[in-house]
Homo-oligomer: A and B are copies of this chain.
Amino acid sequence: MDAQGMILAISEAQMGHKQGGIPIGSVLLLPNESDAEGTFTLLGSGHNERIQKSSPTLISALENAGRLSPEVYRKSTIYTTLSPCSMCSGAILLYKIPRVVIGENETFLGEEELLRSRGVEVVVLDNEECKDIMRRFIQEMPQAWNEDIGELR
């Protein structure tokens, strides 16, 4: 499931990049309990839309999943191409999503330690494609990137 989840998240990041946006993608998956191992339900998918929607707070994968019951979040896994910022990490904690699979944390290290300290399983894949996408974007649009992470320059 993890390899497939990351492929879906990367597709979202690439879609965001094609739209002129910040190329961070994410999906929320629910592992199927009764079916064959490794199958899942796609609950939601999305990419950063700061530029496309002038949105400073949209957490698209979770927003696009709509209103889910607390039970469902607690069985799901979230995949994200980049280490989650404090806002996205806070959403993971709010909904008690138990597992986060991260493409890479070299171009940006989010709140992985906070998540672990609260009992969330955090897996970092160190995926080269995820790093390439971010490196290129940060070179192309350093200001949009700094805005996205609240940095002054």
Contact = CB atoms under 8 A, between A and B. Distances in A.
Interface of A: 50, 54-59, 62-63, 65-71, 73-74, 85-91, 93-96, 111, 114, 146-147, 149-152
Given A56-B62, A63-B55, A147 B85 contact: no
Contacts of A56: 62-63, 65-68, 95
Number of copies: 2
Majority SS at the chain A contact face: loop
A93 B90 CA distance: 10
Nearest to A88: B90
A151 B152 CA distance: 37
Nearest to A60: B57
Contact of A94 (B62, B65, B71, B86): B86
